[in-house]
Structures are given as C-alpha cells and as structure tokens.
Amino acid sequence: MFINEISNFNYAQGGRSEYVGNPCTVMMVAEKPSIALSIAEALSHGNFNKKIGIAKSIPIYAYHGKFKGLSANFM
C-alpha cells in the first residue's frame, strides 16, 4: 500500500480535511509528564491549567491559544 492510499482512508472521524472549527481542540501527546509540562509552559507562556484525567498519575495540561490562526483549546 502506498502512503497516498493510506492518507485517503476514512477513519472513525471521517475523511481528512483542512477545515478547522472555531474553537477547535488540539490534543498533544508527550512520552513523559515532565515533557508535557515543559511543552505546556513554553506554548502557553505559563498560563495553563493542570487537570487530572482517568489515570490519576498522568496529568493533563490545558491552555488556550491559536491553531491555524483560529482560537483553539490545547490539551
């Protein structure tokens, strides 16, 4: 299978699109909690909230910013 064929598959959320809703939610995943904290601090300029998810030992850092020029909620 070729890369362009893989990218044309319809996934659970539907086909690929460049459309971004306003505000959109952007999920960023880091391998370690310390890296997630560093990314959140840098991209939010220190203005983020720490949340606890289903796994109590894995923090979730949330902040508001811009994605593709539009308002976005980052997690």
Give the start-to-end residue ranges of the domains of the chain: 18-74
Share of the chain above pLDDT 70, in %: 72
13 pLDDT more than 70: no
Mean pLDDT score across all residues of the chain: 80
The values of phi and psi at residue 24, to 5°, are -100, 170
7 pLDDT more than 90: no
3-class SS letters over 35-75:
HHHHHHHHHHCCCCEEEECCCCCCEEEEEEEEECCEEEEEC
Confidence (pLDDT) at 2: 44
pTM, two decimal places: 0.66
| 39 in Cβ contact with 60 (< 8 Å) | no
Residue 20 pLDDT level (bands cut at 50, 70, 90) = low
Neighbours of 10 (CB within 10 A): 8
